[in-house]
Chains A and B, each alone.
Chain A
Amino acid sequence: MRGLSSLIASELKITLRDRMGLFFTLIFPLIFILIFGFLMGGFGGADSAALGTALLSERDIGSLQEALKDAGAIEVVPFATEEELSDALSKRKVDFGLLWDGEELRFLYDPARVEGNYAFQQLARGISAEFNLLRQGAVPPIGIREIDAGGIETKGWFNLVVPGIIAFSILSAGLFAVSGHITAMKERRILDRLIVTPMRPVSLLVAVAAVRLAIVYFSTLITLGVSILIFGLAFRVDWAGYFLFVGSATIGTMGLGTIIALLVRRPASASNLANVLAMIMLFLSGIYFPIEVMPPFLRALSQGLPLTHMADAMRYVTGVTEMEPVRFWAITLSLLGIGIVLFPILSRYVVRPSRS
């Protein structure tokens, strides 16, 4: 037991001194949040869109303005000419544009606004449909009452994203613990020296896992804290579930990292592979864009990714969405199981002599 605790202590010291690694585990997720949060704010329907208008004809203008008013969260910005409107659109001063010359209704989009245009086009369809009805004096017979049934009070879309980012940071930490850290130790022959001592390799793995867990808990709490303080987000954390899940997820992703390390021998390649897989999973896991808009096979793929389920579970324990408890336990225990099952295999990997 004494050997194990001194291993843990030395592993802790190494990790704390490795400023680069520390940076990646702690600061990186925060950078991610900042950048992506600001950039992707518009996806899936902006909270409000700025529509630039160039109304070059007086015909039916009353109906048009009525339709614009009914269109919901739109801020109308008038321009005198089409050139001014195009210019404002390309400079991102407005999100999309509307031209009316008395005969034809023309909506103008910036092809670069990939993630927003879908929503803008929906708004445009709504406006033109409403306009057509109003100018003929017709009133749509069926109304729609929108009711928010989300179930939990949250502070907007970003509130949903942050738990997903936390899940992602756990994934990275776990993957890199093995494919980066341990594989690097292997290459530097540190493990070889350890093997010839009476200390069992399992003890080293336990030490690495213990330190990694501590770091992950710390970093996820910091991330939560920052989101609350800087972005004013709201969470209702189930602390017991939180600690249990974060722990299982870390161990489980370490197990996944083992698979990578077994496939690829050099630490440079292993951490590169882990990097790529993590990035792909990030895109496909529904953290930033809804899964529903992906092609069918990507949607199916998404369901098979651990990160997708980790993000869902994370949203559940931070009180942002609901989930069936059964599903939560299934996810948590599977992750724990993966980690535990792969541990002995990892030991054997550690014990295998390194090639020169």
Chain B
Amino acid sequence: MEICKTPLSGCVELLPNVLKDARGRFVKIYHQEVFTSLGLDTNFTEEYYSVSAMNTIRGLHFQVPPHDHVKCVTCVYGKIFDVVVDLRKSSPTYKQAFSITLDADKGNILYIPKGFAHGFQVLSETAVFLNKTTTVYHPESESGISWNSCGINWPGLKPMLSEKDKQLINLDNFNTPFE
């Protein structure tokens, strides 16, 4: 597994080996010891996936402390435009966004530390997005900021969002709980 830095400290892209043969493909997206040797968290207690139509945007989401968590996201089918926004007050890149294409053919993974909002838009006909988190879902700690308030250049023309995501607060009006 190869690790590549992003402009946001602590947020890294991981490139797994993709093994191909006559049967198809095999991709190892998580290995505890490898994660530990790379200095990454390994205490993943929840996992979920979503299946979304083209142009769907889900985000920008996070959980507030003390239920905040690390996310490890990947696209196992199709292709997505994946985005994170740094919400850590003391970070030199506070309020900065970073985007990356996650592609099932590459199997690339984005490791997102605590203190980031996360979202994505589907670039393919459908996409299966898979996420692991280091704390379980905690409804009262669930929070988010509006997808179009962070200066992100979304690639899809007609974004499809849930009512809930449409009503999220703007980044500028958001009082971050992350140090």
The yes or no verdict on A and B being binding partners is: no
What residues of chain B have their CB less than 8 Å away from a CB belonging to chain A?
none
What residues of chain A have their CB less than 8 Å away from a CB belonging to chain B?
none
